[in-house]
Structure 1
Amino acid sequence: MTGAVEPSVDGAPATPEDLTQVALVNYGAYTSFGVEQGGVRGLDLHLERLEAEAVELFGEPVGETRLREWMRSAVAGREACWLRVSLFSPEIGPRTPDWHGRPSVMTAASPPARPLADSVRLQVQTYAREAPHLKHVATFGLIRARRLARAAGFDDALFVDSEGYVSEGSLWNIGFISGDEVIWPQAPMLAGVAQALVQRGLGQSGLTGRTAPVHVDSLADFDGAFICNSATPACAVALIGDDAFATSPAMIDRLRDAWASNPVQPI
């Protein structure tokens, strides 16, 4: 087994033509996650995401049986890894956008991803992703946002709308803590799988959760904040703009336990 990324398309090794298409045409969607013991926490949610993206962006679902087969092939022989599953079509380009059908599926297995950080300092940026409900491949805005934040002395960017309501971050969702309750921002955003898994497991950790609008002017009202994505079940937020947070390490442990209470689902 090698640590290199090994892309395949529809279960076969990716060809130069496949890689050229993906490199040059920025139309598609994906999901990515850690694989452990031959399975995935929240696999059902990742499959639902891929099927919904396939229908919305290309016109037809891939089919869960095919997706599982190609995922199993991609991770075969690996104890643990990171798997990205992408949807694209060689028929679609800037001058040929009209094709409808079942998209091609690229799988790429690589070594396990490390968590983003132990704590983060966030710069507030007025920004919204195009089609925010999709995990699409148009990542220019996200990368630029992170670059700008880091150049300004922060770790990452937190997005708000023109009225100051919080949505999401560059690569993650955010939750705010009030006592034993987690408040998720109510705004157009990607419904993250890690966010859903934390929410599913909150009861196991003696916590509750709800969704509500969160304005940047109200951040001082919270006891803490955290970010989460598939590589980072819970990471404390130390600062948002000028607002410092003393997010309890014990609370971060409870949130991680909430995520971990979800079983590994076999591929």
Structure 2
Amino acid sequence: MAPLRVQAAHYVRDLPEVKHVGLFGALWHRRNAQLEGFDDCVFVDAEAYLSEGATWNIGFYDGQQVIWPNAEVLPGVTMRLLQQVHDASALGPVNIADLPRMEAAFATNTAIGVRAITAINEVEFPGEHPVLRTLRKEYEEIPTEAL
């Protein structure tokens, strides 16, 4: 799957921790980002702390560990599974000002697994990084459960 280029959008979803069909605001911000030449958007609050994408969670690699924003988000299945299997994971604040020190950024959800993010606004990240290969492998090796 092709990497994403995303634009930061000042937005916090209504009841972000609850999965619901109220996606108008999220999709409106996605469309605005697309009109600006980006693939999607990532939400930031009034102090520029990142939370999540329109329909995906976001994670970062700082060279030591995977950092998941500790903002109010819909805790996606893929994100929760990766937090369980990837030992070097932590919740923490991630501000727009922190992005230049991150080695990699990625999006997760059940439809895309782990997808590289190559840009957030003007900050660029590699399309491939060893941590992304590791996360994909760990995700694929999670045993399935029979229904």
For the superposition of Structure 1 and Structure 2, which TM-score range results when normalised by the shorter chain? over 0.9
Q: What is the distance in 1 between the residues matched to 2:5 and 2:127?
A: 12
Secondary structure of 2:145 counterpart: strand
Q: Which runs of no fewer than 5 residues in structure 2 stay unpaired?
A: none
Q: Is the 8 A contact 1:233 1:255 kept in 2?
A: no
> How do 1:17-28 and structure 2 match up within 5 A?
none
Give the structure 2 partner of residue 240 of structure 1: 120
Give the structure 2 partner of residue 167 of structure 1: 51
Give the structure 2 partner of residue 224 of structure 1: 104
Q: Is the 8 A contact 2:60 2:67 kept in 1?
A: yes
Q: What is the distance in 2 between the residues matched to 1:178 and 1:247?
A: 15
Q: What is the distance in 1 between the residues matched to 2:28 and 2:71?
A: 21
Q: Is the 8 A contact 1:194 1:230 kept in 2?
A: yes
Shift in Å, 1:240? 0.3
Q: Is the 8 A contact 1:186 1:213 kept in 2?
A: yes
> Identity over the aligned pairs, expressed in percent?
37
Q: Is the 8 A contact 2:48 2:96 kept in 1?
A: yes
Shift in Å, 1:210? 0.2
Q: What is the distance in 1 between the residues matched to 2:84 and 2:133?
A: 16
Pair member with larger Rg: 1
> How do 1:128-207 and structure 2 match up within 5 A?
128-203=12-87
Paired residue for 1:127, among 1, 11, 17? 11
Count of equivalent residues: 147
Letter paired with 1:179:
G
Q: Is the 8 A contact 2:5 2:38 kept in 1?
A: yes
Shift in Å, 1:180? 4.0
Q: Is the 8 A contact 1:197 1:258 kept in 2?
A: no
CA RMSD in angstroms comes to 1.2
Shift in Å, 1:252? 1.7
Q: What is the distance in 2 between the residues matched to 1:162 and 1:146?
A: 18
Decide which structure has greater helix share: 1
Q: What is the distance in 1 between the residues matched to 2:135 and 2:127?
A: 12
Q: What is the distance in 1 between the residues matched to 2:117 and 2:31?
A: 18
Structure 1: which 4+ aligned runs deviate by more than 2 Å? 247-251
Secondary structure of 1:235 counterpart: strand
Shift in Å, 1:225? 0.5
- Structure with higher RCO (Cα < 8 A, 6+ apart): 2
Q: Which runs of no fewer than 5 residues in structure 1 stay unpaired?
A: 1-116
Q: What is the distance in 2 between the residues matched to 1:248 and 1:179?
A: 14
Paired residue for 1:254, among 118, 134, 139? 134
